[in-house]
Chains A and B, each alone.
Chain A
Amino acid sequence: ETGVTQTPRHLVMGMTNKKSLKCEQHLGHNAMYWYKQSAKKPLELMFVYSLEERVENNSVPSRFSPECPNSSHLFLHLHTLQPEDSALYLCASSQRAALTGELFFGEGSRLTVL
């Protein structure tokens, strides 16, 4: 495996379900990110982890809960989501977090909330 891999690629869930998105990076990077991409809207940063410590929570609702057990893995736990949360969730990594623009993205997890 190379680069940044995300699973599942597609997820359909009801509003009362609990699910998780997984991301793994094989680049030896120290920072990992969750971004949200909705139709007709710019990419939105959700969370940043640097060396397994959360350094940014971009005003994300608590129904999204990130977890970074080590520098290679990142999870996004989902519970009681709303239909407007349907979007493409992109994981990314970079060598460092501070003022970086060089992100490597995974292929994304397409989430549909019914």
Chain B
Amino acid sequence: SQQGEEDPQALSIQEGENATMNCSYKTSINNLQWYRQNSGRGLVHLILIRSNEREKHSGRLRVTLDTSKKSSSLLITASRAADTASYFCATRSNTGNQFYFGTGTSLTVIP
């Protein structure tokens, strides 16, 4: 990927457990976003964190951003089978005109 790399590439957990995905990027960013993609569907925006923010919450989602390490993490708490999907991080450069998506983490939540 030109910009974002997610890890792990695949993650399998039991329902009720927490899932953590990480994203690393290369250049300075304006913001970082996480998207979810269900099989055969388009991506759906989950949460956005700005470069001057360190942590953000939305429901069962918690995102952290460390601009010094050029990395972000997405934590899904109390996972559900319906959370099974691929998760992508996306960045917008701080020059404003470059957009990149990571390689994605495939999450499987076993009921």
A binds B: no
| Residues in chain B within 8 A of chain A (CB atoms) | none
| Residues in chain A within 8 A of chain B (CB atoms) | none
